[in-house]
Amino acid sequence: MIRSGPMTDTKSSPDHALLERIAIALERLAPAAPATADLTAADAFLWQSGTETLSPVPTVARVDIGLLKGIDRQKDQLVENTERFARGLPANNALLWGARGMGKSSIVKAVHGAINAETPEALILIEIHREDIESLPALMSILKGSGRQTIIFCDDLSFDKDETSYKSLKAVLEGGIEGRPDNVIFYATSNRRHLMPRDMMENERSTAINPSEAVEERVSLSDRFGLWLGFHKCSQDEYLDMVRAYARHHGLKISDEDLRAGAIEWTATRGARSGRVAWQYIQDVAGSLGQRLS
């Protein structure tokens, strides 16, 4: 006759308790599940890197594409590139660089609005802040396979000395093992053509053993953008065209003579001519006339 040993409760044994603690510790160390987002909630979103979420933007602050004057060539090129992308055809990442206030960010939002007006829900626009560039891979993982063509937009992009976040952008644009998803394109605006200050580039060249290679890694970031669109200071005639277009669009009750004289005086006090200055003048005129802007 075989005697059975004493029954033991495996659930309360020391070994089982140790295994439970190990399992809990491993769960804490495991990477979090990829975030998901409802990309049907809106046509525009703001990327929140801290929580890795997309906040819907019901109404985008944009101007009508027809009101953007003095940048016709840039406008046509960006429209053509974006229309191809919206149809699922090959298109380039775009860098819009140059003078302040000449409509670089306005044209991106206006093109997005114009294409979606013709083909509803054709494109998503997602804005990412410059300081959140390092979180781009997380955003890409959400967008990959979403089924919607998406423009990631970074306004006023540039990098200062000792910054390394530009490497995340390089990997996403072309250099990474995965690259960017086919349904994602990257548009950026910057006052700098090479996204880094000139004095920094000159300093690195002057102190390097091989000056031509010293800044190659950083300068090559700009090369990842297949489409470069330069924005330059406008002439007085172009500035006045902008002012008149805004005045007509908003139905301002002012004579052309008074509008022109006031616009010239306004730009003289500002020391600059640009689309931004034209819009600021129009706001001043509308306020003085007691009219609201639509």
Per-residue model confidence as pLDDT tens digits over 166-199:
666 776 776 556 667 889 999 999 887 766 555 5
| Mean pLDDT score, 84-110 | 94
Q: Of 31, 35, 28, whose CA–CA distance to 50 is shortest?
A: 35
| Mean pLDDT score, 143-165 | 82
Q: Across the chain, what does the average pLDDT equal?
A: 83
Quick one: pLDDT at residue 163? Answer: 63
CATH number for region 44-231: 3.40.50.300
Domain limits, the chain: 44-231, 236-289
State how far the Cα of 43 lies from the Cα of 195, in Å rounded to an integer: 28
pTM: 0.78
| Mean pLDDT score, 269-291 | 94
Which residues are CB-neighbours of 249 under 8 A, at least 6 positions away?
A: 64, 67, 294
Quick one: pLDDT at residue 219? Answer: 58
Quick one: pLDDT at residue 176? Answer: 58
- pLDDT over 90 for what percent of the chain? 55
- pLDDT over 70 for what percent of the chain? 75
Quick one: pLDDT at residue 268? Answer: 93
Lowest mean pLDDT among 66-75, 137-146, 236-245: 137-146
* 29 pLDDT more than 60: yes
Three-class DSSP labels, the chain: CCCCCCCCCHHHCHHHHHHHHHHHHHHHHCCCCCCCCCCCCCCEEEEECCCCEEEECCCCCCCCHHHCCCCHHHHHHHHHHHHHHHCCCCCCCEEEEECCCCCHHHHHHHHHHHHHHHCCCCEEEEECCHHHHHHHHHHHHHHCCCCCEEEEEECCCCCCCCCCCHHHHHHHHHHCCCCCCCCEEEEEEECCCCCCCHHHHHHHHHHCCCHHHHCHHHHHHHHCCCEEEEECCCCHHHHHHHHHHHHHHCCCCCCHHHHHHHHHHHHHHHCCCCHHHHHHHHHHHHHHHCCCCC
Instruction: Tell me if 257 sits within 8 A of 265, measured CB to CB.
Output: no
Q: In residues, how long is the chain?
A: 294
